[in-house]
Amino acid sequence: MSEVHNKDLQSLQALRAVAAILVVLFHMNVYTIPFVLGADALWSGLNMGYSGVEIFFVLSGFIMYYVHRKDIGKKGVVFDYIWKRITRIFPLFWIVILAIAAFKIISTQTDFTLLGIASAVLLLLSTSPLMKQC
């Protein structure tokens, strides 16, 4: 990507970062703080942080298109792109899933099974009790 393109995308990347932070604050406010501290949410205004998901995905889609628009129609590019995404995302995903499982084992929570861990690792998250109230 040329330097001009980098400059064009910096403000969008910054907005995408803000959207991601809004989502993290939402999850902390709704799930973590009440669960860990046994207290109510810090500020109800943070509950609107879920809107960061839509902003993040729309901007991400636009940025992916903008960066790869010249690759559309080229042979082999799709598989290279998918492979790069898989090798970048899944190892971290699996580490996080295993860390959640370890935390639940240490905290003696019994709301999951080996099948739940396996379904989470295999991306069958909607069926995984491991992912409830994370």
Q: Are residues 58 and 123 in the same domain?
A: no
Helix, strand or coil, per DSSP, at residue 100: helix
Q: What is the 3-state secondary structure (H, E, C) of 24-66?
A: HHHHHHHHHHHHHHCCCCCCHHHHHHHHHHHHHHHHHHHHHHH
Nearest to 128 by CA among 106, 100, 87: 100
Q: What is the pLDDT of residue 109?
A: 63
Same domain, residue pair 78 and 51: no
Q: What is the pLDDT of residue 87?
A: 92
Report the domain count for the chain. 2
Whether residue 79 is found in the same domain as residue 37: no
Q: How many CB atoms lie within 10 A of CB 3?
A: 7
Provide the residue range defining the domain that includes 10. 1-72
CA distance 71 to 69: 5
User: What's the confidence (pLDDT) of residue 69?
Assistant: 87
pLDDT at 43: 66
Local confidence pLDDT in tens for the 134 residues of the chain? 444 456 678 888 889 898 888 888 887 777 776 666 666 656 667 777 778 888 889 998 998 888 888 888 888 888 888 898 889 988 988 888 888 778 777 776 666 677 777 777 777 765 555 555 44
Residues 97 and 118 in one domain: yes
Residue indicated by tokens 């992916």: 64
Q: Which of 37, 72, 107 is the last residue of a domain?
A: 72
Q: How far apart are CA 56 and CA 51, in angstroms?
A: 9
Residues 80 and 134 both lie in one domain: yes
Separation between Cα atoms, residue 39 and residue 53, nearest integer Å: 25
Chain position carrying tokens 């992912």: 131
Instruction: Provide, for the chain, the percentages of residues in helix, strand and coil under a 3-state DSSP scheme, each rounded to the nearest 5.
Output: 80, 0, 20
Q: Assess whether 130 and 84 both reside in one domain.
A: yes
Are both 50 and 11 inside the same structural domain? yes
